[in-house]
Structure 1
């Protein structure tokens, strides 16, 4: 039988359509996320069962702690799993040693022992909040472990050393199994995720620079703010890279250099945008050569081919410097001085974009000397700078201590036999969930997961496990619950609920060498679990929750205080200042989503603080080279700005026209003086004027 050619073509088209649809389905982000979650769940379950088997073979009591460890350590990438495992083991060891040191020394005074344990947990929480890097997990686990081991041992301290020793062994087994499986079985490398994120950021920053040339203030506010959040996310990836198993990982020094340039580009794009807008709005007909140059820069930014961009960048920088010298030599009008300032900023922007291209292409290579020689600007790398607030960290730590002490008092007053278990669970909640402004929603998610975990555990303990007599069958019957919970754990929105399941089932089911189902004991443990988490919701609401508006206002107040410090000569490192303010912007973004404040206005304030702080810091550094009356007037201007931005109210009125006039007077004096660095001082005053103007009356700005 023969088939007509037209029928063959129809079949071929149908097959191609089906294949295309299948390809699009598998490439879809949602499908890939589901596949990654399933793979993570299977690997985590395999690691958990391996750890459980080893703990059983060794004969460790309560081998289910090895399962719990696997699910706490496991992350969706190999590098993050290893780093988390390393810090978990370090924290567990420190916490176990601290507990062994505390409990026996207060054996005759359970109340004092509980108070010291509470202070230790608060101390660990304080430093975990200050650190803000993956290292913070070690502090979390140091407090977590002390709570789990210490409180149940307060009334039976004799076995504290054995308990701590066994716990460390179980956790080490769980860590090793989790790390080995996630590292060597279909590993998902952090380096790949980092590279994708970096490529997207480099495209975004070029688009941000291109949009700035339009001279439309505020047109790219959301993209600019997102870049700050992306820099924090990129740093989160970068901290795990040393632990990644990829053949080649990005060089840490180059990552710091790249971050410094991206951080400078964020305010620089806004500075260029303001100057272009001002030149156009004044109607003074900007110089033709400057307009032509802006068009060429826009074409260069839009160029896709990397080699073409590289070749053209050198010529564009030379043209920008030539224009800067030309307008500086003329300097007959404020417009000439502004054109010279704009040309200098454009040269800097082109150089920074070229550096980002080079570093982005060669970030994983080892040849640092040749790469460094080709970069523009400073080569001393600062890297990402984290905002740290000891006052807020201390407030959260004190709240945890107060909550634990109240719980201990209720335990002693009621003489509840399971009180030690309940307080140990509550201490874990304080350590594990206390690293955010509002921990209660996460505790509630964990509590919801625990309800599911308890229901599943009771079914296992008294219906399924009594029928199991073989390890392979045990693995098979545990698989459905753990695979489902593991897939939930891989998704950020359900991670805490999944932990409520994966941490509850092994403990309540009593997964040991032999079946030991005890309904009364299970009921007591369940009661302790829900009493502890319920009390945790109340206590953490009262003592560890920071209202979102209070957190936002504190960040803004600290930024204003630091502007004042820079005006007086403090915080002199410019790269450090920029990175610190970008980190504060990234911290504001998630808070603003749940606050009643205007997110764009608040984020604009932060960028204004960044720019003003940079301008006043540069002027303060230049004062020693300025002699006579001019130097005194510059110093007086900076002192006035410092007083305006000193810690206090977030808003207020100021004679911004007066600031503008003072800057104009200073610029006129410098323009006719014989100063050696006259052009540099004029540029700094222009930068200050635009920075203050952008901040408006709320920040004491001036009108340009």
Structure 2
């Protein structure tokens, strides 16, 4: 059975791979035919566009095409401006072009998603337009128009082929992925309501939640390009993701509290909270359906039962005031989780039941990305110096093919800067490019000269060209080789209208292209990429801790979603380049949970402070606690931990003193302060090395 299953998976993968190969080849040759029919100067430019934007899923093709089109137009306009400013000053022209390409490369590293293609193409198109026209500025406008026309033709053909020939849409993938994450979270919530969860299990749950949230946003951002219904539902999908993240955070915080109470010998309070869980547990019980609509109705009915049950359980703890405070804090957290879970499930039900545009207003939510400016500046500087060096070499030697070397460096400096091992990626691309150039030579000088017409062009190139798209489907084992092969074949074949066969020019262009790639690899050695380095890991960890400072100081409107999404996006970046099971991985997991819990508690505390009429002394002490916690996470040490612990304790004492005369406003604030104190004194958290070891501070 296993052999059959493996064979079935293999055959399915091969079928999908060859469908992609067929679509790529169809788009290549259709683009070449239309380019020649429309008498465009360089059909190869349009074919290179197809090679860059093609993807097995049409949403990805449309997303890449959209940003590539924007980048192409932007680069062309900048090229016209550049030539207008420096028509006869080649040195200033190369300097300005190098600066522009460097900035575009930095923009690609900063954004990391499909917008990166727009930045790469803005730099590449400017170089494609400017460099050939440097010796004849009067050609600049015609060159710009031709390059834009060729690129747009490639984009249109790739989009049409992807959309009409065995289309593989992202909408079904998004729905399937979203439902899988929904069921996974519901199963976790159902299975864990019977008691405490080990910290290792909470860490893995947090990691799954982070990956799910980022994956859903990435899919949503791409599927809006292919489906009008997806565009109409886009804001609700983002809101669903927000509610998913909010419920997951409250779930983790609640189980942290139960774990701490049990470790701190407060078993009665922990058991009371577990019993308070019962209505939610019954709603999620295996006997009940996890279908969103009936589950939302059961969870909505839990609210009244939770209030009644909380009053009953609270009565059993009246003789112990300290336990009563901890129970009230946990009950508040549990009610928040139940409410957020109900909101999440209700919106899930609405999205499943409603097709097309959803009625009613929706919150404006934005998934905040955590991008590193220093990494982008380093990439910009590396590309700038690479282009400047190649440009100076070109001007000094008057090498006719020097512009080709600059074009290859422009393209791959931006594309490879986002990888964690750019030198290895450059080497793989270089190997693929060399193989593609060799195959192109065989086609151009052995197979094609003996034929005539477009059919012979297809027959003379098809057997060798199809290798590139197939290798692209094996990118996991041969990263970059397929892309390099395809670009090498198409670029070196250099289809023109009319076609010319010059072996000397071919060899010169091939050597220039390989030289440009080698210089790019050398630039990555001299100025290494920071992605995946220990330096960037430490920097990103500092940025991760500063998410607490953002939660403590940033303006409140939209802060909840900015914190939830920004923290997860940054955590996802770090975990991608952290070896699983290492000390760095354990440290990251511990800090991720601590930052998430503390930051969310600070958000809820600040919201209660703004909405409630607190006594002035309570407000002042609570604000001091917020500031002390922000300083602790910014630069953790024992002194700041002591200061934060003292500030939180003083605020708790003052709130308890004011509770009898202002219970309605002070009770929520007290609950969040107690949660923050428990998190501070958790001797299994990331803050454990900074905890001062006296008895009071060890109290859970």
Q: CA deviation at 1:248?
A: 6.4
Q: CA deviation at 1:308?
A: 4.8
Cα-to-partner distance string for 1:380-434 (whole Å, 9 max, x where unaligned)? 3424211133333223212211221122223334443322221121112223223
From 228, 231, 236, the counterpart of 1:254: 236
Give the 5 Å matches for 1:13-52.
Answer: 24=5, 28=9, 30-52=10-32
Q: For residue 687 of structure 2, what is the aligned residue in structure 1?
A: 696
**Distance in 2, Cα, partners of 1:623 & 1:283:** 29
Q: CA deviation at 1:515?
A: 4.6
**Distance in 2, Cα, partners of 1:327 & 1:677:** 23
Q: For residue 531 of structure 1, what is the aligned residue in structure 2?
A: 515
Cα separation, partners in 2 of 1:128 and 1:466, compared to 1, 3 Å: same
**Distance in 2, Cα, partners of 1:380 & 1:345:** 23
Q: For residue 242 of structure 1, what is the aligned residue in structure 2?
A: 224
Q: For residue 672 of structure 2, what is the aligned residue in structure 1?
A: 684
From 247, 256, 259, the counterpart of 1:277: 259
Which stretch shows the higher mean deviation, 136-145 or 589-598? 589-598
Q: Does residue 316 of structure 1 match 2:302?
A: yes
Give the 5 Å matches for 1:287-686.
Answer: 290-295=273-278, 297-303=280-286, 304-306=289-291, 308-324=294-310, 332-363=320-351, 365=354, 380-436=363-419, 438-493=421-476, 494=478, 496-543=480-527, 545-546=529-530, 548-568=533-553, 573-593=559-579, 597-623=583-609, 625-646=613-634, 652-654=637-639, 656=641, 659-660=644-645, 662-673=647-658, 674-675=661-662, 676-686=664-674
Give the conservation status (yes or no) of the 8 Å contact 2:425–2:479. Answer: no
Q: CA deviation at 1:533?
A: 0.4
Q: CA deviation at 1:258?
A: 0.6
Q: Please, which runs of 5 or more residues in structure 1 have no aligned partner?
A: 1-16, 373-378
Q: Does residue 199 of structure 1 match 2:175?
A: no
Q: CA deviation at 1:52?
A: 0.5
Cα separation, partners in 2 of 1:222 and 1:290, compared to 1, 3 Å: closer
Give the conservation status (yes or no) of the 8 Å contact 1:656–1:697. Answer: no
**Distance in 1, Cα, partners of 2:515 & 2:581:** 31
Q: CA deviation at 1:568?
A: 4.3
1:468 is paired with a residue whose SS is coil
Which stretch shows the higher mean deviation, 248-257 or 547-556? 248-257
**Distance in 1, Cα, partners of 2:199 & 2:678:** 12
**Distance in 2, Cα, partners of 1:482 & 1:389:** 38
From 78, 81, 88, the counterpart of 2:58: 78
Give the conservation status (yes or no) of the 8 Å contact 1:450–1:497. Answer: yes
Cα-to-partner distance string for 1:348-400 (whole Å, 9 max, x where unaligned)? 3233333333333432635877788xxxxxx6342421113333322321221
Give the conservation status (yes or no) of the 8 Å contact 1:445–1:497. Answer: yes
Cα separation, partners in 2 of 1:654 and 1:697, compared to 1, 3 Å: farther
Which stretch shows the higher mean deviation, 180-189 or 495-504? 495-504
Give the 5 Å matches for 1:123-202.
Answer: 123-202=103-182
Cα separation, partners in 2 of 1:594 and 1:428, compared to 1, 3 Å: farther
Q: CA deviation at 1:189?
A: 0.6
Q: For residue 100 of structure 1, what is the aligned residue in structure 2?
A: 80
Cα-to-partner distance string for 1:34-60 (whole Å, 9 max, x where unaligned)? 222211110111111111001111222
Q: For residue 94 of structure 2, what is the aligned residue in structure 1?
A: 114
Give the conservation status (yes or no) of the 8 Å contact 1:426–1:533. Answer: yes
1:76 is paired with a residue whose SS is coil
Q: CA deviation at 1:84?
A: 1.7
Cα separation, partners in 2 of 1:537 and 1:310, compared to 1, 3 Å: same
Give the conservation status (yes or no) of the 8 Å contact 1:588–1:603. Answer: no
Cα separation, partners in 2 of 1:33 and 1:589, compared to 1, 3 Å: farther
Cα-to-partner distance string for 1:522-549 (whole Å, 9 max, x where unaligned)? 1111110111100100112323511611
Q: Does residue 267 of structure 1 match 2:249?
A: yes
Q: CA deviation at 1:622?
A: 4.3
Cα separation, partners in 2 of 1:563 and 1:386, compared to 1, 3 Å: same
Cα separation, partners in 2 of 1:478 and 1:358, compared to 1, 3 Å: farther
Cα separation, partners in 2 of 1:27 and 1:199, compared to 1, 3 Å: farther
Cα separation, partners in 2 of 1:571 and 1:597, compared to 1, 3 Å: farther
Which stretch shows the higher mean deviation, 236-245 or 403-412? 403-412
**Distance in 2, Cα, partners of 1:131 & 1:171:** 22
Give the conservation status (yes or no) of the 8 Å contact 1:324–1:341. Answer: no
Give the conservation status (yes or no) of the 8 Å contact 1:261–1:355. Answer: yes
Cα separation, partners in 2 of 1:85 and 1:640, compared to 1, 3 Å: closer
Give the conservation status (yes or no) of the 8 Å contact 1:454–1:504. Answer: yes
2:199 is paired with a residue whose SS is coil
Give the conservation status (yes or no) of the 8 Å contact 1:49–1:475. Answer: yes
**Distance in 2, Cα, partners of 1:249 & 1:639:** 41
Question: How many residue pairs get matched?
Answer: 675
Q: For residue 220 of structure 1, what is the aligned residue in structure 2?
A: 202
Which stretch shows the higher mean deviation, 482-491 or 270-279? 482-491
Q: CA deviation at 1:454?
A: 1.5
Aligned alpha-carbon RMSD (Å): 3.0
Cα-to-partner distance string for 1:223-271 (whole Å, 9 max, x where unaligned)? 3213212211211110122221487667112112111111113322221
2:224 is paired with a residue whose SS is helix
**Distance in 2, Cα, partners of 1:639 & 1:245:** 46
**Distance in 2, Cα, partners of 1:258 & 1:199:** 12
1:592 is paired with a residue whose SS is coil
Which stretch shows the higher mean deviation, 677-686 or 478-487? 478-487
Q: For residue 66 of structure 1, what is the aligned residue in structure 2?
A: 46
Cα separation, partners in 2 of 1:655 and 1:532, compared to 1, 3 Å: closer
Q: CA deviation at 1:453?
A: 0.4
TM-score relative to the length of structure 2 = 0.88
Give the conservation status (yes or no) of the 8 Å contact 1:403–1:540. Answer: no
